[in-house]
Structure 1
Amino acid sequence: MTIPVLLAGHGALPSGIADAAELVLGPQPRLAVCELGPAESPESYRERLADLAGPVSGTGAGVLVLADLPGGTPANAAKLLAARRGGIRIVTGLNLPMLLEVLVRGGDLDELAGLAQSAGRDGVLTEPVLTR
């Protein structure tokens, strides 16, 4: 079963990472984004996130939410949604390696959440400077 992935974050970050992932992998119909606007209230954002999670969770497999900042409005909105509905796993620290790994791998909701966490962490490296 394919797990829907919902990107939650501040500004255009979720769309930018989704666009980058689709540049690498092609169209991703299981991917949805929810951007927090600069003047948006937490309540309004929570409602939009719930609306997006509703259609993508129609598979019965749950929804994986990848949020940008732990403790930020998008992550907190996802936590409230998960508490009310269940079937939602949240991983914070959204980055491109995390998303790419989740999109190319299979597994259940808990496996994908673990994969997202490890791929996100392992994708942060200090690259050596090239010398002549």
Structure 2
Amino acid sequence: MVGLLLMTHAPLGSAFLQAAAHVFRGKPEHLEAIDIVADQNVDEVNRLAREAVHRLDDGSGVLIMTDILGGTPSNCCRQLGEPSQVAVIAGISLPMLLRAITYRQDALDVVVEMALAGGQNGAMRVENRIRIAES
């Protein structure tokens, strides 16, 4: 099973974990979050991330989802393992996370594509149509 690691600015990762636990009626296995606080030591973040990847990888790989490209969370993901075993996606959303959880029995590259599709398909304009009852 592909492991999932959320590396985000605090408190987003924990909030996404809580939302996933709500949707799936319990915390999904092999899913962790690292919430990075302002001015946190980058070496500490790198250590925490390496340890999490090691815990989460059962041989199927790990997908790391981060909130924004170029921020400390995504920058700390660049050297966490072989590209065939660790993939990184920026721009996490709840639809992206739920899709990744749903498909993580597949190969890592499939989980990446499904997560990206979930994120892209989950962003849409919702029409606000008010109906006024006729009297």
Is TM > 0.5 for Structure 1 vs Structure 2? Answer: yes
Aligned pair 1:113/2:112, yes or no? yes
The separation in 1 between residues aligned to 2:102 and 2:60, in whole angstroms, is 17
Change (3 A) 1:108 1:86: closer
- Matched to 1:20, the amino acid is A
Deviations 1:14-63 (A, max 9, x none): 11011101101122122111110123022211111111111111x11111
* Greater Cα radius of gyration, structure 1 or 2: 2
**Aligned sequence identity (%):** 25
After superposition, where does 1:52-131 map in structure 2 within 5 Å?
52-57=52-57, 59-82=58-81, 87-105=85-103, 106-131=105-130
State the 1:86 CA deviation: 5.5
TM-score where L is the length of structure 2: 0.89
Stretches of structure 1 lacking an aligned partner (at least 5 in a row):
none
The root-mean-square deviation of aligned C-alpha atoms, in Å, is 1.4
The separation in 2 between residues aligned to 1:48 and 1:115, in whole angstroms, is 26
Q: 1:32 aligns to what?
A: 32
TM-score where L is the length of structure 1: 0.91
The separation in 1 between residues aligned to 2:79 and 2:102, in whole angstroms, is 28
